[in-house]
Structure 1
Amino acid sequence: MPVKRGDGYRNLLGGGAGGVRGRSVSPALAFAVAALGIGLFSVMDAVMKSLVLGIGVYNALLWRQMASVGLGAVAWKLGRSGRPSGRALKLHLARGLVTAAMALLFFWGLARVPMAQAISLTYISPILALLLAAVTLGERVGRRVVVASILALGGVGIVMIGHGREGAAGAASLTGVAAVLGSALLYAVNLVIARVQAQAARPGEIAFFQALVVTATLALAAPWLAVVPDAATWPRLLLAAGLATASLWLLGWAYAHGDTGFLATTEYSSFVYAAGLGYLVFGERVSAFTACGAGVIVVACLYAARRRDIAQTSMEAAA
């Protein structure tokens, strides 16, 4: 999951290196790297959707996460993060548990609704994260955030109206929509944790321990649910793991070298990626309601961001 989508992964994901900013680089380069990171996340979503349709959401996530643990270990080693502190371990555990539930809901729902529709619904996470941060971290919620929240809910309503007009297919996938919305709520919780986590650990450490905790959580049900994939499935599993890890590193680099407010808008390019991949890979068409609803939600997020750095509650993904 966008991500996939909204990081806070701002500088949550990104500026994470203990709050240390990298040397100055061209804003255009940082923007391009962030956009590439979002693109890789979107391709990963498409690969995961095909895997969920083929081997089910549990096995798709379990085996992809196992591959991610190995890649994450390499990232941790290269990042020279050192041993995590006790506080960081608690944050890794909390975020990993939330991410496991979030990912299960998102990919289960993604297999039942068009990619563009699913991604558009997840765009409410940044605003939900701002509201949750006000409750849990004591941050002030201004008038802009309240107005933006109402606008975002209106955007969700537009998407849902379009979903209802799809007839039987829409009714059959209603549980998928509910799962994606539930995932969006957990993603907001994920982002609030990430805001604290980014001050306690570096990106490589975060990537490794998130993969480790999610894998360990999923493995609890392995005796009853795990099925070893056939040889033809493994290339896609490894591709999904590689795409997720590469995306996290690209986003981390970009947000460590660029302003979060400037880079945050790359998050919304995921709708374009999702629409294109959904059509090319799965034959999904984007309805006018979905496009309009996504537009309203994006405008709401950008409106709130004019006063508060929504990037800090929007991007990690979560993968």
Structure 2
Amino acid sequence: MTSRSTVIPFAVCCAGVALFSVMDAAMKGLSLSIGVYNALLWRAVAGTLLGLVLMLVLRQHWPTAVVLRLHLLRGTVVAFMAFAFFWALVRLPLAETIALSFIAPLIALYLAALLLKEKVGRAAIFASLLGLVGVAVILSGRMRGTYDADALAGAGAVLLSAVLFAWNLILQRQQAQVASPVEVAFFQHLVMLGIFALAAPFLAILPPPGALPLVALAAALAFTSLAALAWAYARAEAQRLIPVEYSAFVWAAIIGWLVFGERLAVTTVAGAALIVAACLIAARARPVSSLPNDPPPHIEPGLT
């Protein structure tokens, strides 16, 4: 692929990452207002309705049984991944949460070895160790001075979310080969809605009128950014777009400061730099054919 043919996917990827970062901030505000569960439930409702309209307007075909099972599996994984991520997000600064989530592509290396029988080389093992050092540096900032158990629990939830996101990377690699971006986004929201609806009789509340614009904004941003990234990664090699994904940390730092007044710790910057370096080493160490046809996390990157 020539550099000229990569320009548009590169620009779309940049826009997708930025939109995902704004969505994370919207979801943090919504989670602080009505709780993580209700924020995810009502975003899933809005995203499902938006996806249904697009599926009908674009005349998307209903997936086969095999593809539908893949949608169900990935939607389930993403539901638990998103809950863990946003539960952590209300306990940690936005930039710190994003930085910790960057460990997911390294975890995906070993899941790819387990599930796809890919070989993990020495460079990938070194990258994993470097990434763990980066995580330790970020956590060290939490363990200095006053012991903040709630924040450490949040960090643990991010790492759990990263493990699930790594599995999500493997599933999305398979999914991208058999479904359109609109279909992927619609079924992800639909399956998440089905899972969250199970607890609705016990946990669901109607969001106050003032929260409805934020629900609609979060759903629109999630759907648009997911579709944009799927489109970009279908048209350019993953190794050309991976560095763009880490711009999510810059967006998270800026938005966290502007919206939530969050300060950026030196340990967060240093740890994020180590994790990003580790991910790039791992990506370059593997052949292109073994790279997930997917973005690394800025979570959900769900969501994300």
TM-score, normalised to structure 2, is 0.93
What is the rounded CA distance, in whole Å, between the counterparts of 1:165 and 1:234 in structure 2? 39
Residues 276-309 of structure 1 deviation map (CA, whole Å, 9 limit, x = unaligned): 1111111111111100000000000001111324
Q: What code does the residue aligned with 1:88 have? A: V
Q: What code does the residue aligned with 2:268 have? A: T
Q: 1:84 to 1:173 in 2, by over 3 A?
A: same
Residues 220-248 of structure 1 deviation map (CA, whole Å, 9 limit, x = unaligned): 00000000011110000000000111111
1:227 to 2:205 alignment: yes
1:35 to 2:11 alignment: no
Indicate the SS of the match to 1:257.
Answer: coil
Structure having greater relative contact order (Cα 8 Å, sep ≥ 6): 1
What is the rounded CA distance, in whole Å, between the counterparts of 2:188 and 2:5 in structure 1? 30
Residues 118-173 of structure 1 deviation map (CA, whole Å, 9 limit, x = unaligned): 000100101111110101111111111111111111110110111112524x3331
In structure 2, which of residues 252, 257, 260 is the aligned counterpart of residue 274 of structure 1?
Answer: 252
Contact 1:268/1:298 (<8 A) preserved: yes
1:9 matched residue in structure 2: none
Indicate the SS of the match to 1:285.
Answer: coil
In structure 2, which of residues 156, 180, 190 is the aligned counterpart of residue 202 of structure 1?
Answer: 180
Residues 17-45 of structure 1 deviation map (CA, whole Å, 9 limit, x = unaligned): xxxx9x99642332121111000000000
Shift of residue 61, structure 1, vs aligned partner: 0.4
Larger proportion of helix: 2
How big is the alpha-carbon RMSD for the aligned residues of Structure 1 and Structure 2? 1.9
Equivalences for residues 181-192 of structure 1 within 5 A? 181-192=159-170
Q: 1:313 to 1:204 in 2, by over 3 A?
A: closer
What is the rounded CA distance, in whole Å, between the counterparts of 2:225 and 2:121 in structure 1? 33
Equivalences for residues 17-28 of structure 1 within 5 A? 26-28=5-7
2:293 matched residue in structure 1: 312
Shift of residue 87, structure 1, vs aligned partner: 0.8
In structure 2, which of residues 68, 79, 100 is the aligned counterpart of residue 100 of structure 1?
Answer: 79
Q: What code does the residue aligned with 1:89 have? A: L
Contact 2:31/2:86 (<8 A) preserved: yes
1:290 matched residue in structure 2: 268
Equivalences for residues 90-129 of structure 1 within 5 A? 90-129=69-108
What is the rounded CA distance, in whole Å, between the counterparts of 1:291 and 1:182 in structure 2? 21
Contact 1:87/1:200 (<8 A) preserved: no
What is the rounded CA distance, in whole Å, between the counterparts of 2:58 and 2:144 in structure 1? 49
* Overall identity of the aligned pairs, in %: 49
Q: What code does the residue aligned with 1:289 have? A: T
1:214 matched residue in structure 2: 192
Contact 1:95/1:190 (<8 A) preserved: yes
In structure 1, which of residues 234, 254, 262 is the aligned counterpart of residue 240 of structure 2?
Answer: 262
Indicate the SS of the match to 2:61.
Answer: coil
Indicate the SS of the match to 1:306.
Answer: helix
Shift of residue 253, structure 1, vs aligned partner: 2.3
1:82 to 2:61 alignment: yes
2:31 matched residue in structure 1: 52
What is the rounded CA distance, in whole Å, between the counterparts of 2:267 and 2:165 in structure 1? 24
Contact 1:42/1:273 (<8 A) preserved: yes
